[in-house]
Amino acid sequence: MRRVSFIAVALLLAACGNSGDDTGKSTGLDGAGKTLNVLVQANTIYPDQQRAWFTEINDKFKASTGAEVKFETFASPNDELTKIQTSVLSGQGPDIYSLGTTFTPTAYSTGAFLELKDDDWKKLGGKDAFLPSTLGISGPDAEHQVGIPFTSRPFVMAYNTDLLKAAGIDKPATSWDDLLGQAKQLTKGDTYGLAVAYADGFDPWKFIWAMSVQAGNPLVKDKKAQLTDPSTLKAYQTYLGWLATDKVVNPAAVGWKNAQAIADFGAGKAAFLPMVSATSKVTLDKSAVAGKYAYAIMPTVPPGQSSTTGVGATSILSGDNLVVAKYTKNKDLALALVKLLTSPEQQESYYKTFGELPTNATAAKKLQADPALAPIIDSASKASGTPFNGAWSQVQLALVNVVVQSIPALKDGKLDETKLKALIADGQKAAQDALDKSK
């Protein structure tokens, strides 16, 4: 198997059982004096809760195995690059990595992570312990998997029910063009139609991907990048145009991260908050719009069209996977920790704290009766996976970079089509170069 560049891989990994009581000493493991190192993305929305969770997991795992758990976080791709490059190249470092599902293909292509065998899955409680859909991007096929589902994060759109009702709008639009029409109608004074995080490193590409695949362009086909397809240009024009030309987004959003967009919507300053997951619920239920908002699946009709001509995807197949480093000297302990993290009790607790949907089948079943989550569950059923290619995360970064390079013009309220086409052409080259180097 041809391996992709480790530097690229490390940069791009940044980015998407029964119970804890059954782990550790109850299974004969003795981790006294040992420490497991786990690398995860820093939670910028709930940082205090994340630190408390680190302590909770360490305490539980130490009580059951004698081993300690040390969490490390990365805040940016460059931060992760330094940490992962050093550990993998030296053959020591984190035992477990948490990474977004869309980056699992890149992780798999490195050959640096444990490919799970039947015995490994048994130690985790069996594949049946997980929702089948969450295993969809754990590997290239059911027999070659490295990713253990940790969280499920289907994307939806939140909307302010009071604002829509006052405007005489019954429900959110099902096409991107009609959503823009509603957003224009709802933009008044310091209240805008849409809250969008243009400076977020993880959100922008998902809009471009969704609009492109809905128009019949998968962005990668037969190892060929298709970023210069007219449908993708239209997607960028639509997404960037919301701020630059349509003026339905707060100008300050050009510098917003996801947390800031959620906060703006939570303050009642926007009618729609597209591309959010159930993680937003924890914040919104404590905000000014508590009891005054709802979720809906995002539009599936691409810009400029009256019907879906491609895949009616409402979301990427999204979430986080846990992968175990091949070099770990504590494989069984690592699997025991993963079993704890994916147990029904811990998954339910994690959802209540962070709003991340469970991948554990038992925990997920308990949430099905919550009417507020119905659109999110619906979106999960209509989600579509990104290409399982080792270069996909580089393609993903190329998509984001077009937005990053467009921000200076957006700050001036401009959208130059000639410059945009040039940026997309640069993204096409970067994506194709990555695909040519991958298997």
pLDDT one-digit tens code per residue, 208-249: 999 999 999 999 999 999 999 999 999 999 999 999 999 999
Average pLDDT over residues 178-206: 96
Distance of CA 124 to the CA centre of its chain: 23
Closest by alpha carbon to 228, among 437, 398, 384, 404? Answer: 398
Residue with tokens 């009609």: 178
Closest by alpha carbon to 22, among 345, 361, 265, 266? Answer: 345
Average pLDDT over residues 335-340: 98
Average pLDDT over residues 347-361: 93
Predicted TM-score of the model (pTM): 0.82
439, 1 in Cβ contact below 8 A? yes
Lowest mean per-residue pLDDT among 11-20, 107-116, 360-369: 11-20
Highest mean pLDDT among 102-111, 299-308, 355-364: 299-308
The pLDDT value recorded for residue 10 is: 38
Highest mean pLDDT among 17-31, 136-150, 227-241, 399-413: 227-241
pLDDT-based confidence at 273, cuts 50/70/90?
Answer: very high
Lowest mean per-residue pLDDT among 18-22, 98-102, 273-277: 18-22
The pLDDT value recorded for residue 162 is: 98
228, 428 in Cβ contact below 8 A? yes
Average pLDDT over residues 355-376: 89
Look up residue 363 and give its two tokens. 């925990």
Average pLDDT over residues 274-294: 95
pLDDT-based confidence at 102, cuts 50/70/90?
Answer: confident
The pLDDT value recorded for residue 85 is: 62
Neighbours of 401 (CB within 10 A): 17
The pLDDT value recorded for residue 114 is: 96
120, 114 in Cβ contact below 8 A? yes
pLDDT-based confidence at 24, cuts 50/70/90?
Answer: very low
The pLDDT value recorded for residue 11 is: 35
The pLDDT value recorded for residue 106 is: 79
Neighbours of 384 (CB within 10 A): 18
- Tens digit of pLDDT for each residue in 81-97? 566 667 767 777 899 99
Q: Does the pLDDT of residue 17 top 80, yes or no?
A: no
The pLDDT value recorded for residue 9 is: 38
The pLDDT value recorded for residue 6 is: 34
Distance of CA 190 to the CA centre of its chain: 30
> In whole angstroms, what is the distance from residue 403 CA to residue 237 CA?
11
> In whole angstroms, what is the distance from residue 407 CA to residue 150 CA?
33
> In whole angstroms, what is the distance from residue 200 CA to residue 400 CA?
9
Lowest mean per-residue pLDDT among 72-76, 201-205, 263-267, 355-359: 72-76
pLDDT-based confidence at 78, cuts 50/70/90?
Answer: low
The pLDDT value recorded for residue 163 is: 98
Q: Does the pLDDT of residue 2 top 50, yes or no?
A: no
pLDDT-based confidence at 77, cuts 50/70/90?
Answer: low
Q: Which DSSP category does 191 fall into?
A: B
The pLDDT value recorded for residue 434 is: 92
The pLDDT value recorded for residue 104 is: 85
Q: Does the pLDDT of residue 25 top 60, yes or no?
A: no
pLDDT-based confidence at 5, cuts 50/70/90?
Answer: very low
CA dihedral defined by 141, 400, 100, 105, rounded to 10 degrees?
Answer: 20
